[in-house]
A and B are shown apart, each in its own frame.
Chain A
């Protein structure tokens, strides 16, 4: 069966510090991968998605970036965090080549920028 991992589970960082969140998927190959942010009391905002190694699409221009160094690894980064980067970050995957596009979510990372 497929599983998705995210770490860390929680993170408190000062403004201006760098960020690296990691997501890995097991039990499938060539998945579509997604990073979402969920701000307090708000819905999901798609940040990045990837359909293959090295292929990243950005949905929202901001100080975040994403990389996919391996087939089942997706990393969200920032060089300098802003207060507005606080939120709940969710990684998700879906099966490549299907049109139903059910997404499977990781447990999330709670980021607080102080």
Chain B
């Protein structure tokens, strides 16, 4: 069965520091991978997605993620954190085995940004 593991339910960084949110997935077929962001009391919005093209994917707000098949990872990074990046981030996987209709979400990582 497909699964997603996000390492660390909470991550705290200083403003201007590197952001690294970790995600590992399990899938027996080539996956589609996503990062979503959720601000308090709002729905999720797509940050970026990997769909078997370039392994380094650039998203909105300066975020990017790299697909590493050998490590089954899709970690999210941003070179310099901003206060407005404080939110909860979800990694997700979707593939043919889920019928293309269902996406499996990780438990989420809450990012805190200190001034």
Contact = CB atoms under 8 A, between A and B. Distances in A.
Contact of B94 (A101, A104, A108): A101
A99 B44 CA distance: 20
A94 B96 CA distance: 15
Contact of B32 (A88, A92, A100, A104): A100
Contact of A44 (B32, B41, B101, B105): B105
Q: Quick one: which of A42, A46, A105 has the most chain B CB within 10 A? A: A105
A51 B101 contact: yes
A43 B107 contact: yes
Contacts of A88: 41
Contact of A43 (B43, B45, B51, B105): B105
B8 to A, nearest CB: 13
Interface in B74-109: 90, 94, 96, 100-103, 105-108
B43 A107 contact: yes
Contacts of A44: 44, 90, 105, 108
* Interface residues on chain A, size class: 20 to 34
Nearest to B42: A107
A98 interface: yes
Interface of B: 32, 34, 36, 41-46, 49, 51, 90, 94, 96, 100-103, 105-108
Given A44-B108, A100-B94, A103-B103, 15 more contacts: A32-B101, A42-B107, A44-B44, A99-B96, A100-B32, A100-B49, A101-B94, A102-B46, A103-B46, A104-B46, A105-B36, A106-B43, A107-B42, A107-B43, A110-B41
Q: Which 8 A-B pairs have the closest CB atoms?
A: A105-B43, A43-B107, A101-B94, A44-B105, A105-B44, A99-B100, A43-B108, A100-B51
Interface of A: 32, 42-44, 46, 49, 51, 88, 90, 92, 94, 98-108, 110
